[in-house]
Structure 1
Amino acid sequence: MTESTGSTPDPTTDSVPEWEQRFRAPRVSLPDWAEEAPDRSLFVSNATGTYELYAWDRATGEQRQVTDRPNGTTDGVLTPDGEAIWWFSDTDGDEFGVWMRQPFRAGGDEGAKDEPAAPGLEPSYPAGLAIGRDGTAVIGRSTDEDGTTVHVVRPGAAPVEIYRHRESAGVGDLSHDGTLIALEHTEHGDAMHSTLRVVRPDGTTVAELDDTEGGTKELGLTVLGFAPVAGDTRLLVGHQRRGRWEPMIWDPVAGTETDLAIELPGDVGAEWYPDGSALLIEHGFEARSELWRYEPASGDGTPVRVETPTGSVSGATARPDGTVEYLWSSAAEPPVVRSTTGAVVLDPPGVKAPRSVPVEDVWVEGPGGRVHALVQRPAAPAEGPFPTVFEIHGGPTWHDSDAFAGGPAAWVDHGYAVVRVNYRGSTGYGRAWTDALKHRVGLIELEDIAAVREWAVKSGLADPEKLVLAGGSWGGYLTLLGLGTQPDDWALGLAAVPVADYVTAYHDEMEALKAMDRTLLGGTPEEVPERFEASSPLTYVDAVRAPVYISAGVNDPRCPIRQVENYVDRLKDRDAVHEVYRYDAGHGSLVVEERIKQVRLELDFAARHLGAPDGPAE
């Protein structure tokens, strides 16, 4: 067993390969903006080498760094008047902390001063935040001891608790006039399918919207936002009544529901235009996304296309002037924040990220239906078979898309083909596909991955002797589980921040994830021990024959370090070939050089155990 350390080349003296340039190139998120002061914006950037929050005054062009912490900061929001920035302060990535507040503008020579945004609230995991125009804040909190609580915090007053429940819940939104609060909750015990409750600031209930019918019907709801107009009590809601996500309008005060029935294939999300007259539709279908404008009052139900290039829109917002800003990328093209005016909205300084290769779509018949996979091939050599990395996404309720990603691009640069599988449990292919992930957790996903692996070998894409199973979070979990349950199929495993010992992971993880695991497996480890045993990588660790590389954050609340150590100890006991890299962060790192180091260690591990493929020299 090796404890990996790695080394970082000096970019000022060494030739920096393109794959590292992609990580180091400055990036920016889609800027958020204050509802009452739209020239004031907030975005995330890695310009300093660590992902931090930045304030941007569009009127003057001035930008300043808001946060500066060793392990980075990404969670922040502007108050509606644009006068202040709230940001979440945890400890080294453990996701457990408090909301801090600082002025939008720095104050004199000493800069902006941070202060607790809600004095009197103890540290917790965040469970939603909404801030009103009068300064009132609705704060969702989650702790192992209390479950989920929601507090209303008025300026100068002590926090008032208005909600508490053991099951997971969260703050959805606060109405324009501050009189209604939308909550998502799973009091019925199904953490995958929320129901909605609208309450007054004193916690009394206005209305409920429940599509689960006592838990017998697996239909979920989500809050998309109150209408941004004074006196308008309409709430935009996402529902699954037709087997996919799509929006409707619910007025909890009038007791009315308006079915929008937007006829687009795939999942449909939405948000309000600032004047409330139209909806900005975000449409995801078969690993790509696009934008539409829809006017509920038009009567014809026909959305109008908002032109974007082919690829993936990772976020979009309608501005007060009617233009739309969006963050776009494709597998080949790095991300950029664009506007429907044709302009680049926010162009970070410095060297631009090199392009990568485009993605190909593959459909494979699996045991549960057609499985969609995305394939990237190295530019040289032109013909396979290639050593192939199956890069498995996390979630599990997530999906890989035609979007720019530094990790897969690095493997392609080194001569590997990369295959990403949207297995059962993935989003974007309908409710039945996502909800298929129950009770045989992990084993179901691996059946779909195995079907794509078989296609990759038979088609001549993949070298059967050089197949790598890799992934982070849930993808890391599936990597370890696959190495143990499919030991003849994989030559190497690379697991980042994985679930490795499911029982210990359950007992150590944050409370909201315990609720999700109870939903997926049908109970606790004590109630359904056979399911946890069948789905735990630790059960099959003695069958693992491929060399295994594991990386883990020592402060990770999602895939805690103790359960990783249990798995590693079992590998040690039988002298299995493995390496472990532990780093001082949580569920991944926000430090660019740390991310590069982790990819470099994986590339090196693969080269040592599989041999260097024919790829471009560094």
Structure 2
Amino acid sequence: MPDWEKRFRAPRVGLPEWAEDAPDRSLFVSNATGTYELYAWDRATGAQRQVTDRPNGTTDGVLTPDGRWIWWFSDTDGDEFGVWLRQPFDGADGADGAGADGGESGEASGADEPAAPGLEPSYPAGLALGRDGTAVVGRSTDEEGSTIHVVAPGSEPREIYRHRESAGVGDLSHDGTLIAVEHTEHGDAMHSVIRVVRLDGTAVAELDDTKGGTEELGLSVMGFAPVAGDTRLLVGHQRRGRWEPMVWDPLTGVETALAIDLPGDVGADWFPDGSALLIAHDHQARGELWRYELASGELTRVETPAGSIGGAGARPDGAIEFLWSSAEQPPQVRSTSGRAVLDPPGFKAPVSVPVSDAWVDGPGGRVHALVQKPEGEGPFPTVFDIHGGPTWHDSDSFAAGPAAWVDHGFAVVRVNYRGSTGYGRAWTDALKHRVGLIELEDIAAVREWAVASGLADPERLVLSGGSWGGYLTLLGLGTQPEAWALGLAAVPVADYVTAYHDEMEALKAMDRTLLGGTPEEVPERFEASSPLTYVDQVRAPVYISAGVNDPRCPIRQIDNYVERLQQRGAPHEVYRYDAGHGSLVVEERIKQLRLEIDFAQRHLSLPGPGRGPAADRTEEQRALPE
């Protein structure tokens, strides 16, 4: 088995999340069976049990505060539309299940039942579980917009919120009397307002940073204080041009600014006693942790290796558990206690190569890119692997996909274009109205640097990405046809107008924010930002993969784009698979990347095992599954 496949197949575990009032009871995600599923872990006994077992995997699950129940979201083959189910932590009969660490185990044995009877299927929009069994369930549908229901034990669900714009449940206070709601009733899906309400829906207070200034600022719910009788809410804000936390008490209206002088974005979570905050600091594609004392304002660094933090939490004993990786080193669940936390069974993923940083002058400011390259001297065939989101960023973290390209002799460049997080609010908010075209300007600047520096072979440049990255790939192939030798687009937006009409409601709201309206209100902006507009200019061979159940980048709009390629006789291949916005099945992920690598090697006339130039292959060999 080649190293690149081992990196996908090596068992992984996510950061365990524990029940707040029963911290020995934890829930985590693992690919130990070859599909990402939920696992229960009793730390006191070491027993682990596989909670879910579905053909297309499961990753959304929550423990009740007392640790007695596991709630998990059940959709259909990745379409993200479904209901919450629950099962006892110990399973149907108390039997142990299939352990991800090789301990005492068996198969999933939970008896699932509806967790919120009476609620129809929907897209999830937040969930908060109370200590008395009350649940606050956020929902979204095309017909209803956003709704929030309170489900008390033995009672019918009670709707307490409804609005056409996107909204969701942020958190429930420790005593179960206050609900924090993030909403965008003002119509800007990129910048939320926080409203705190009681269980009957009556408003207590609202925090709104979208008014009174020249630019709208967003807020995010980070969580109520985890202490009885404490109504403080930890809030993320952008008042100083980046994400950082503050404390707000909705009952008194008191806002407490925090003196955290760190560059880049700053997130936070509570320590269990409410006296301090665990600070997650992200800057220039790296992450680190700090402890902030609320009484004194003292900020203390938590020692972690150089790389990225994929999540962290403070245990009741004060130890901090965190998920760490770097581009070179695979993910590990670590603890500041020095004790092993959770080690997956089986072989370990092979290491890859470290990243180097490139800073390139672009039309909107300096653009940060991460570079990995194989051994030897360039110029190399180079993959520009473009991240999705768009409000996301590439980081110095382990990724099996880029590592596979390096193994095959490609350099890989990942660009944190305007729209990416981690570089301040102005950088993230720069996309509006010229959507797609702005990001491609930054990618073009890095491409020119890569060629001029001798890193990249100008005749073998591959534009690649998934989701928003797939969208930018198709848009780039049409608007920069001479720049790219090849395009690889996974689950992309291909026809923006049709995508808008078919996608889930929350994404419609985001598109209205990005483009300034609907396709009927601003047709010229949708046309300028749609890959379909430029499909006749595409010259490079293009490979497209798509999930037939995808609610984010629906299949019909991709079919429209492919049909235009077919009408032109343009070189392309399409792979459709039975899942949603990507796959949680390891072998499916390997298959998709293998097909992409094969496509690139053939069309770039690069050597590969048993492969030759495309002209030497039969039509049957060239065709990929439809």
User: Normalising to structure 1: TM-score of the pair?
Assistant: 0.96
Q: 1:68 aligns with which of 23, 29, 53?
A: 53
Q: Is the 8 A contact 1:414 1:613 kept in 2?
A: no
Q: 2:27 aligns with which of 42, 47, 50?
A: 42
How many residues end up aligned between the 2 structures? 598
Question: How does 1:202-241 map onto structure 2 within 5 Å?
Answer: 202-213=200-211, 217-241=215-239
Q: Is the 8 A contact 1:387 1:613 kept in 2?
A: no
Determine helix, strand or coil for the equivalent of 2:23.
coil
- Per-residue deviation, 1:261: 2.7
Q: Which residue of 2 aligns with 1:517?
A: 511
Q: Which residue of 2 aligns with 1:22?
A: 7
Distance in 2 between the 1:90 and 1:157 partners? 24
User: Normalising to structure 2: TM-score of the pair?
Assistant: 0.94
Q: Is the 8 A contact 1:501 1:564 kept in 2?
A: yes
- Per-residue deviation, 1:229: 0.4
Which segment is superposed worse, 606-615 or 575-584?
606-615
Q: Is the 8 A contact 1:336 1:344 kept in 2?
A: no
Question: How does 1:334-483 map onto structure 2 within 5 Å?
Answer: 334-379=330-375, 382-483=376-477
Distance in 1 between the 2:18 and 2:395 partners? 27
Q: Structure 1 residues 613, 420: CA separation in 2 closer, same or farther (over 3 Å shift)?
A: farther
Determine helix, strand or coil for the equivalent of 2:385.
strand
Q: Is the 8 A contact 2:135 2:150 kept in 1?
A: yes
Determine helix, strand or coil for the equivalent of 2:199.
coil
Q: 2:582 aligns with which of 579, 588, 603?
A: 588
Distance in 1 between the 2:88 and 2:224 partners? 26
- Per-residue deviation, 1:341: 1.4
- Per-residue deviation, 1:496: 0.0
Distance in 2 between the 1:366 and 1:550 partners? 29
Matching residue's letter, 2:18: W
- Per-residue deviation, 1:214: 6.7
Q: 1:537 aligns with which of 523, 531, 536?
A: 531
Deviations 1:132-156 (A, max 9, x none): 0101000000000000000000011
Determine helix, strand or coil for the equivalent of 1:284.
strand
Distance in 1 between the 2:115 and 2:242 partners? 38
Identity of aligned residues (%): 83
Q: Does 1:329 align with 2:340?
A: no
Q: Is the 8 A contact 1:190 1:215 kept in 2?
A: no
Q: Which residue of 2 aligns with 1:246?
A: 244
Distance in 2 between the 1:480 and 1:69 partners? 32
Matching residue's letter, 1:257: E
Distance in 2 between the 1:224 and 1:467 partners? 41
Which segment is superposed worse, 106-115 or 588-597?
106-115
> For structure 2, which runs of at least 5 residues remain unmatched after alignment?
96-107, 612-626
Determine helix, strand or coil for the equivalent of 2:403.
helix
Q: Which residue of 2 aligns with 1:609?
A: 603
- Per-residue deviation, 1:613: 5.7
Distance in 1 between the 2:266 and 2:177 partners? 28
Question: How does 1:130-209 map onto structure 2 within 5 Å?
Answer: 130-209=128-207
Structure of greater relative contact order (alpha carbons < 8 Å, 6+ residues apart) = 1
Q: Which residue of 1 aligns with 2:288?
A: 290
Distance in 1 between the 2:469 and 2:346 partners? 33
Q: Which residue of 1 aligns with 2:315?
A: 319
Determine helix, strand or coil for the equivalent of 1:439.
coil
Matching residue's letter, 1:195: V
Distance in 2 between the 1:609 and 1:573 partners? 21
Q: Structure 1 residues 614, 371: CA separation in 2 closer, same or farther (over 3 Å shift)?
A: farther
- Per-residue deviation, 1:215: 8.3
Distance in 1 between the 2:414 and 2:251 partners? 45
Distance in 2 between the 1:370 and 1:237 partners? 30
Distance in 2 between the 1:483 and 1:511 partners? 28
Q: Is the 8 A contact 2:51 2:109 kept in 1?
A: no
Q: Which residue of 2 aligns with 1:13?
A: none
Q: Is the 8 A contact 1:416 1:613 kept in 2?
A: no
Distance in 1 between the 2:200 and 2:488 partners? 50
Q: Is the 8 A contact 1:415 1:613 kept in 2?
A: no
Determine helix, strand or coil for the equivalent of 1:42.
strand
Structural RMSD (CA): 1.3
Q: Is the 8 A contact 1:188 1:215 kept in 2?
A: no
Distance in 2 between the 1:148 and 1:457 partners? 47
> For structure 1, which runs of at least 5 residues remain unmatched after alignment?
1-15
Question: How does 1:86-125 map onto structure 2 within 5 Å?
Answer: 86-108=71-93, 111-125=109-123
Q: 2:270 aligns with which of 269, 272, 285?
A: 272
